Amino acid sequence: MKSCALALLAILTLGLPASAQPASKEKLSLVGTWTGQRERMAKVEGYREGPATLVITEQKGRAFKGHLVRANKDGDVKEELWGAFTPGGKLIVASDDEGYYWFTLVNNNTLDYCYAEAGAAARTTCARLTRKR
């Protein structure tokens, strides 16, 4: 038990192993096409899953813009988004015309995201995306 507590303390103090962290010495670039499967729960429409594609088209410093394409029962929906991140990319956020995105960079080519909208048509979506190279 004591060794588990010491190991946990070491992880919290030292952070994640270098292999699990994004390269912080390099300039972080989110530009590219990221794809994966999303799952969503909505107040009105209930559960839905399907593909999502995030395309970051422009980045200036720590600010970026792009769009997300998601499959919908009536066809694909493309939503423009705008975002920014803290130095090193530990905190990444974006918004579109209706809601907010939160991102976590798992490694240089894997990005987790969640999206939320509030109100009468509230919904929340999450996915793990992989950058195409």
pLDDT score recorded for residue 81: 98
Question: Which option is the CATH number for 26-131: 2.40.128.20, 3.10.20.880, 3.30.530.20, 3.40.309.10?
Answer: 2.40.128.20
Nearest 5°: CA angle at 60, between 56 and 64? 35
Contact 11, 96 (CB under 8 A): no
Mean pLDDT of 10-34: 61
- Taking only the tens place, the pLDDT of each residue in 50-109 is 999 999 999 999 999 999 999 887 889 999 999 999 999 999 999 999 999 999 999 999
Gap between the Cα atoms of 118 and 100, Å rounded: 10
Query: What's the pLDDT band for 28 if we cut at 50, 70, 90?
Result: very high
Closest among 101, 128, 125, 100 to 112, alpha carbons compared: 128
Could you tell me the pTM of the whole model? 0.78
Q: Retrieve residue 57's tokens.
A: 């088209």
Reported as type and span, the H/E element at residue 83 is strand 77-85
Closest among 42, 38, 39, 41 to 54, alpha carbons compared: 38
Q: What is the DSSP letter of 28?
A: P
pLDDT score recorded for residue 25: 54
Q: 30 CB contacts (<8 Å, ≥6 apart)?
A: 56, 59, 64, 85, 89, 92, 111
Mean pLDDT of 15-33: 65
> Domain map of the chain by residue range?
26-131
- Taking only the tens place, the pLDDT of each residue in 38-48 is 999 999 999 99
